[in-house]
Structure 1
Amino acid sequence: MPNPAAQPEPWTHHQAVVNDVRLHWVEAGDGPLVVLLHGFPEFWYGWRKQIPALAAAGFRVVAPDLRGYNLSAKPAGIRPYRVQALVDDVAALIHHLGARQAHVVGHDWGGIVAWWLAMVHPECIDRLAVLNAPHPPAFSREIRRNPKQMLASWYAGFFQLPALPEAALRARDYAALLGIFRAESVRPGAFSEDDLQRYRESASQPGALTAMLNYYRAATRYRPPPTRIIPHDTLLIWGVRDQALTIELTEGLEAWAPRLRIERIPEASHWVASEYPDPVNQLLTGFLAPPRA
């Protein structure tokens, strides 16, 4: 029976077939459209601390489960997770929602998708915000020249193996997967036990772990689209204590995004939106709210 004391969720759930794949998303608020793209190994819930704040600031906020995650469809194979398919999903979702363009905010893999969306479908974006996700050419640069980044990215190589990464992440009731959120660098209290249970349930959806890992596998097998200059006003929010992505990835980005502003949060790790939601929400609302000149 429903719990009469339970508080209603501050968002509604939706799903539809876009770009030939069924996507699930949550939505809140009215106003200019903001699309929030999560990363690995989260799902839409990674934005739980941003959705109400952005909706209260006067935005229509949509946070999808990217293909392969949680309640969205999980196409079989590696090819469906190449970059072109991921960015086409987001462009199709924006149009499905009745908008010509949206403010797009991405974290981790969602941030990588956001960077590429701005290059492949620039007409779909008004303003772009990225949280702890490397611009693709900058990541290639640092992998080649920076031993710290090479070492920090060891897991991406491990994820290329068949079956073994799934088994490792699933072992002991997803202990290794949830350990990502419990690392020493992560601010205590950023993730509750309820949060971790939600991530466990999402990853345990049939086919989800393989689909999530196929993002990494597709990235090494399929050539991405051409790199283009990003013409949009762009905000990069960076947790400096990120253990997987070095601070050097924030350097020299103006060559690819001339209208870039960078905000570094020294105390934050990779999970900056969960650790420091108030500063992140203030940065996002302040950046997205101003009208065009």
Structure 2
Amino acid sequence: MTEQLGVQTAEGVFDAIAAGPEDGRPVLFLHGFPEAAVAWEHQVAVLGRAGYRAVAFDQRGYSPGVRPERALEYGLESLVGDVLAVADSLGWSTFDLVGHDWGATVAWWTAYEHPDRLRTLTAVSAPHPRALADALQTDEDQHMRSAYLTEWRQSSTERRMLADNGAALRRMFEWQVPPSRVDDYLQRLAEPGALTAALNWYRGGRPGGRVEHVTVPTMYVWSTEDVAFGSTAAFDTAKWVSGPYRFEMLEDVSHWVPEQVPEVFTALLLEHLGS
């Protein structure tokens, strides 16, 4: 079982789910698009039972209490700042960080810019940002996989995604996420301004700097049927981690790793945290 939390920060209150003893080793989870903290419900509950203090929060735009209107307020500097603000509010000086999809991108940046705050990093699906940037330049397959990014920045995207009872959003999950969970995500995104806020992550502009080598102990989990991220960036991620590195490739699994194969991924995560 998980509990509901409200995490107070200077930006507002982030909604969160949590499990485990207050003095347990802290683990923070970052969800992707178009999901929410509940995507990590299985992992949070299992880690809580194992004695960790596991927390997953609805990130900027997904939490109604932190939903700025301007796209510029969704840049990576703000998103990384939210991670640290939540950790500070929870009283965590160091913690383990786990991210999927957009949450993994934020996690990579956090690990690079604030290695002193992280005990370990676990990134799921999204490769190291430099590996992805290089693949976009050199790999036609990755270039085609990422074509949606331009479309999603257009102002008509919200209307298209929510039309016909959110049919386009539902197709994104490839029937690999339980229908009741997808219904929950769509209900959240149908709230006034919610989908625009989520899409503002794509419209927030590029960061000023570049991510270089990550030094914290890192596990990267990639699945062979991921529609967004191909093998070139996945395999090249190793070049951008100078600390202890573990790469796990899941065969015949889609982009939605934490929800499609929750037991498999959670076992990998517990191994990584324990090592």
Normalised by the size of structure 1, how large is the TM-score?
0.89
Aligned to 2:26: 33
Measured against aligned partners, the alpha-carbon deviations of 1:45-73 in whole angstroms (never above 9, x if no partner) come to: 11122111111222100000000015442
Aligned to 1:6: none
Aligned to 2:14: 23
Q: Is the 8 A contact 2:107 2:121 kept in 1?
A: yes
Matched residue type, 2:50: A
Aligned Cα root-mean-square deviation (Å) = 1.4
Aligned to 1:57: 50
Aligned to 2:77: 84
1:1-293 alignment runs, 5 A limit: 10-30=1-21, 31-162=24-155, 164-181=156-173, 183=174, 190-218=176-204, 221-258=205-242, 259-290=244-275
Q: Is the 8 A contact 1:120 1:225 kept in 2?
A: no
Q: More deviation in 108-117 or 22-31?
A: 22-31
Q: Alpha-carbon deviation of 1:98?
A: 0.8
Instruction: Label 1:122 to 1:144 Cα distance change in 2 as closer, same or farther (>3 A).
Output: same
| Corresponding residue SS for 1:48 | helix
Aligned to 1:7: none
| Corresponding residue SS for 1:245 | coil
| Corresponding residue SS for 1:75 | coil
Q: Is the 8 A contact 1:84 1:225 kept in 2?
A: no
Q: Alpha-carbon deviation of 1:17?
A: 3.1
For structure 1, which runs of at least 5 residues remain unmatched after alignment? 1-9
* Displacement over 4 Å in runs of 4+: none
For structure 2, which runs of at least 5 residues remain unmatched after alignment? none
Matched residue type, 2:18: E
Measured against aligned partners, the alpha-carbon deviations of 1:179-209 in whole angstroms (never above 9, x if no partner) come to: 111x2xx5xxx42221121111111122111
Measured against aligned partners, the alpha-carbon deviations of 1:215-253 in whole angstroms (never above 9, x if no partner) come to: 1111xx333434232111100111111011101111232
Cα separation, 1, equivalents of 2:13 and 2:63 = 12
Matched residue type, 1:34: V
> What is the aligned length?
272
Instruction: Label 1:92 to 1:225 Cα distance change in 2 as closer, same or farther (>3 A).
Output: farther
Q: Is the 8 A contact 2:127 2:237 kept in 1?
A: no
Q: Percent identity?
A: 31
Cα separation, 2, equivalents of 1:207 and 1:237 = 32
Q: Is the 8 A contact 2:20 2:51 kept in 1?
A: yes
Measured against aligned partners, the alpha-carbon deviations of 1:132-178 in whole angstroms (never above 9, x if no partner) come to: 0121111111111111111111111101212x100011101111011
Cα separation, 2, equivalents of 1:66 and 1:199 = 14
Q: Alpha-carbon deviation of 1:19?
A: 4.2
Q: Is the 8 A contact 1:243 1:269 kept in 2?
A: yes
Q: Is the 8 A contact 2:170 2:182 kept in 1?
A: yes
Matched residue type, 1:26: I
Cα separation, 1, equivalents of 2:252 and 2:131 = 23
Cα separation, 1, equivalents of 2:230 and 2:177 = 23
Normalised by the size of structure 2, how large is the TM-score?
0.95
